[in-house]
Amino acid sequence: MISLASINWCVVAQELNKEVQTDGSNLFFPKSDLDWKRSTPAEAKWDEVALKNMLRYAGEQKSSAFVVLWRGRIVVEQYWDVAGSRRYQSMVYGKDDQGHALEDVASVQKSLAAILLGIGLDKNLVKLDDPVTRYLGEGWSNASAAKESGVTLKHLISMSSGLNDQLKFQSKPELRWKYNTNAYSRIMNVLEVASGLDRNSLTEEWLSPLQMENSTWKVRRFAKADPKTNRYGWVASARDLARLGLLVSTNGDWAGRTVVQNKQYMQEMLQSSQQLNPAYGYLWWLNGRTHIFRAGRLRESPLNSNAPDEMVAGLGALGRKLYVVPSLQLVVVRMGDQPEAGFDNRLWGYLSKALNR
> How confident is the model over 13-22, as pLDDT tens digits?
343 333 333 3
Q: Which amino acid, one-letter code, is at 130?
A: D
User: How much of the chain is helix, strand and coil, in % rounded to 5?
Assistant: 40, 20, 45
Instruction: Please report the beta strands in the chain, taking only residues with DSSP state E, as ranges in sequence order.
Output: 63-70, 73-79, 92-95, 101-104, 216-219, 232-236, 253-254, 257-258, 285-286, 292-294, 297-299, 312-316, 320-325, 330-336
pLDDT in tens, 166-197: 999 999 999 999 999 999 999 999 999 999 99
d(CA 348, CA 75): 16
pLDDT for position 84: 87
Report pLDDT for 2.
30
Residue range 191-218, pLDDT digits in tens: 999 999 999 999 999 999 999 999 999 9
Q: How confident is the model at residue 226 (pLDDT cuts 50, 70, 90)?
A: low
* pLDDT value, residue 25: 54
Whether the pLDDT of residue 1 is over 70: the answer is no
Fold designation for 4-355: Beta-lactamase (3.40.710)
Strands 73-79 and 292-294: what pairing?
unpaired
Residue 357 has pLDDT above 60, yes or no: no
Q: How far apart are CA 27 and CA 135, in angstroms?
A: 39
Task: Convert the pLDDT of each residue in 233-286 to its tens digit.
Answer: 999 999 999 999 999 999 999 999 999 999 999 999 999 999 999 999 999 999
Question: What are 326-349's pLDDT values in tens digits?
Answer: 999 999 999 999 999 999 999 999
